[in-house]
A and B are shown apart, each in its own frame.
Chain A
């Protein structure tokens, strides 16, 4: 089983709909991230959280919101989806103070298509 699990893995939704992408991890890491990836643009940070009470905007947070429900869970919401939010979304975790050092670990990704 994956240490970082994302659901759904694939979703097609209509413009204006609300959609939530969920992420859970079993690595025990405090830090969690949401990225989106578009062809030619690489990974862009949407939001990140260093613990349950800490939420920070990344470089492209407009149109998105997040919730850190527990250390292990970090969800991303699109309140009113628009077509240019069509992308591959990754959840990730890291623990700079732990045995894994500064390594970042990714979930398998969620393909979102907004039509």
Chain B
């Protein structure tokens, strides 16, 4: 079983839509969780950390469900510029990061 699993998509949504991605992780002792954004042929960049209490940054909301071992990312009022691949990242043991394969989002006019 993979350490981190994501639906690869693509999610094709119109501008203004709300879209949500989930990511499941296998190590119940994991402590740190992140969402990264990666544009085509570019490096991944931190979008937001995911805290136990959930956190929001503008149109983006991240949540953690420890009982079911998943994290989620909600994007409201999607913009064309949100089109990218979103990577789920888990840091279970202070040694290595584990990356999901990414979920591709296409926001269309």
Contacts and interface: CB of A to CB of B under 8 A. Distances in A.
Contacts of B89: 104
B97 A108 contact: no
A43 B99 contact: yes
A23 B85 CA distance: 24
A96 B34 CA distance: 14
Contact of B49 (A41, A48, A103): A103
Interface of A: 33, 40-43, 45, 48, 58, 88, 90, 94, 96, 101-109, 111
Nearest to B101: A42
B87 interface: yes
Contacts of A41: 101
B60 interface: no
A108 B100 CA distance: 19
Contact of A106 (B8, B44, B94, B102): B44
B45 interface: yes
Given A40-B8, A42-B101, A48-B96, A107 B43 contact: yes
Contacts of B99: 42-43
Nearest to B102: A42
Contact of A109 (B8, B34, B42, B49): B42
17 contacts: A40-B8, A42-B87, A42-B99, A42-B101, A42-B102, A43-B44, A43-B87, A43-B99, A45-B97, A88-B41, A90-B44, A102-B32, A102-B34, A102-B94, A103-B49, A108-B42, A109-B41
